[in-house]
Amino acid sequence: MQAVYRLRKNAHFEFVYKKGKSAACRSMILIFAKNRDHRLKVGFSVSKKIGKSVVRNRCKRRMKEAFRQEIPRLSPDFHFVVIARPALTECSFADVRRDLRYLFKKAGVLLPAAGDRS
């Protein structure tokens, strides 16, 4: 994933945590907040409760790649924080991608499809 999409500063993470809304599924939590600069940004969080560093890094890589593939479909008006849950360690990449799409739909942050008139 390109660096321009990353949330870096603690203050930005705190903004999303405090002002944002959340959507959750079995393997992840998505927190999203409307931003003022209309630039899509995302941060990923994987706790030490998930496992050792190898497991945590694998989870982060999978979440980042799944998110990267969804960028063209997302509204640029939001900042996101994706938090891993322990069930993510047993998920395949296809499951991670499906769960992330589900969270985006649940949150209502997808751009309307080209053929939609609603």
What are the tens digits of pLDDT across the range 41-51? 999 999 999 99
Asked if the model's pLDDT at residue 114 lies above 80, the reply is no
Q: How many domains does the chain have?
A: 1
Q: Is 30 helix (H, G, I), strand (E, B) or coil?
A: strand
pLDDT digits (tens, 9 = 90+) for 79-95: 999 999 999 999 999 99
> What is the average pLDDT score of the chain?
92
Residue 116 within a domain: no
Residue 118 within a domain: no
Residue 114 within a domain: no
Residue 117 within a domain: no
- Give the range of the structural domain holding residue 100, as residue numbers without chain letter: 3-107
Q: Is 13 helix (H, G, I), strand (E, B) or coil?
A: helix
Between helix 53-70 and helix 93-107 the angle, nearest 10°, is 50
CATH code at position 43: 3.30.230.10
In the prediction, which pLDDT does 111 show?
87
